[in-house]
Amino acid sequence: MTETIPEVPDGPGPVAQFMTAFRDLCEAVRAFPSPVIARMPGWCLGGGLDVAAVCDFRIAAHDARFGMPEVRVGIPSVIHAAMLPRLIGWGRARWLVMTAETIDAKTALAWGLVDVVAPEGGLDVAVEKTVAMLLKCGPQALRLQKELLGRWEELPLTESVNSSIGVFGRSFLTDEPRRLMQGFIGGKR
């Protein structure tokens, strides 16, 4: 198994152009400074699951299905499929990308691939409930939290912990902590 994988040159070919553009799209979603919610009403396969994987929250319909079927058509799962081991662990990620099996919403929830499975007819309500929770939070604090989560994905633990101190301090450069703490203590949770 030490055989190297031959690579296609990164030149201007149509495959490289498409995959680069798709990578850039996923990175734009991942780097967006505010929370991003994936609303998943049905089938979410391959590149669609790549996009969902980079979202902050994934909310699925009760009958949604998920998979990475690329190997069935002779190509590997690439780009942000690399997020799957971080979301669901190596074994489950390996299962999805190597067997091309699809899983149902209940399994996706148990695996941590989705955060919420909405009841039948309740997908929009579940999304709106999440939006309402986010709107109760400080917008600056959410942006800082998302920035930290991005760092935590990339950095070793000690660096993650140490980098958090400065971000915490930055939150006090606005009036959000004072204003929102007063509301919290006053019972306006």
Per residue in 108-118, pLDDT (tens digit) is 999 999 999 99
> At 38, which helix (H) or strand (E)?
strand 37-40
Q: What are phi and psi of 43, to 5 degrees?
A: -70, 135
* H or E stretch at 66: strand 65-67
8 in a structural domain:
no
- Regarding whether 158 and 113 lie in a shared domain, the answer is no
In a domain, 49, yes or no: yes
Q: Is residue 80 part of a domain?
A: yes
- Confidence band (pLDDT; 50, 70, 90) for 8? low
Q: Taking residues 39-66, what's their average pLDDT? A: 98
- Does 51 fall in a domain? yes
Number of domains within the chain: 2
Lowest mean pLDDT among 1-10, 95-104, 133-142: 1-10
Domain that holds residue 106: 15-135
* Residue 47: closest CA among 16, 30, 62, 26: 26
Are 115 and 159 found together in one domain?
A: no
Question: Which tokens go with 33?
Answer: 């400074």
Q: How many CA atoms lie within 13 A of 11 on its CB side?
A: 4
Instruction: Looking at the structure, tell me whether residues 120 and 157 fall in a common domain.
Output: no
Q: How confident is the model at residue 66 (pLDDT cuts 50, 70, 90)?
A: very high
Q: What is the CATH number of the domain that holds 60?
A: 3.90.226.10
In a domain, 6, yes or no: no
Query: Global pTM?
Result: 0.86
- In the predicted structure, residue 5 carries a pLDDT above the cut 80: no
Query: Is pLDDT at 9 greater than 70 in this prediction?
Result: no
Average pLDDT for 43-50 = 97
CA distances from 137 to 29, 35, 140 (A): 21, 11, 9
pLDDT of 136 higher than 90: yes
Same domain, 107 and 28: yes
Specify whether 78 is located in the same domain as 161: no
Instruction: Point out the domain boundary residue: 100, 118, 135.
Output: 135
Question: Is a pLDDT exceeding 90 seen at residue 186?
Answer: no
Mean pLDDT of 52-66: 98
Secondary structure of residue 1 in the 3-state scheme: coil
Helix (H) or strand (E) holding 103: strand 102-104
**Interatomic CA distance for residues 91 and 83, integer angstroms:** 13
Whether residues 127 and 149 fall in one domain: no
The average pLDDT across 103-111 equals 98
Q: Nearest 5°: phi and psi at 127?
A: -65, -45
Same domain, 104 and 159: no
Strands 116-117 and 57-60: parallel
Asked if residue 116 and residue 47 are part of one domain, the reply reads yes
pLDDT for residue 7: 59
Q: Are 129 and 161 in the same domain? A: no
CA distance 134 to 74: 41
Q: How confident is the model at residue 183, as a pLDDT?
A: 78
